[in-house]
Amino acid sequence: MTANPDAPALPTLPLAVETIQGLLPHRYPFALVDRIIDYVPGERAVGIKNVTFNEPQFQGHFPGRPLMPGVLIVEAMAQVGGVIVTLMPDMPKGLFVFAGIDQVRFRRPVVPGDQLVLTAQLLSVKRRRFCKIQGEAMVDGQLAASGELLFSLVE
């Protein structure tokens, strides 16, 4: 494979939210990664999501007992995985979207005030169109969620 001339240069850590917005298409209220604190090209990335009470999902999930929805935790793991894929020089341009979610488990609630440490490990790339990552979300050293996420390129 030849290098993609449109691929961004390798980043200097940590990556701030402005840099992440240059890599991923997500915007408020769906931009769920505040910082990338570790990155190994083509292998893994570690991101941070600061969970705050003034996020829109907490108005209805749940009044009096705010819990971060599991689907948003999974999405945050996926966005960290998206950083890995976006920075790979041999990947085509386009939008990677969910193609599958396997073996996802939730181990502890995530509430306002928590800081999610999101790790994405690239497991495989097939035909430069499909990627699989192993994601983990930790809070205070405790596993909050984990699972395998599959992405497909939409051109």
DSSP state, residue 6: T
Per-residue pLDDT tens digits for 63-90? 999 999 999 999 999 999 999 999 998 8
Superfamily, domain 36-154 = Hotdog Thioesterase (3.10.129.10)
Global pTM reads 0.92
Average pLDDT over residues 143-154: 96
3-state secondary structure of 22: helix
One-letter identity of residue 113: G
pLDDT in tens, 21-43: 999 999 999 999 999 999 999 99
Question: Strand pairing of 115-126 and 130-139?
Answer: antiparallel
Count other Cβ atoms within 10 Å, centred on residue 55: 17
| The pLDDT value given to residue 82 | 95
Which residues are catalytically annotated?
61
- For the chain, what is the mean pLDDT? 93
Q: How far apart are CA 114 and CA 84, in angstroms?
A: 24
Q: Is 131 left (phi over 0), alpha (psi -120 to 50) or beta?
A: beta
Whats the size of the chain, residue-wise? Answer: 155
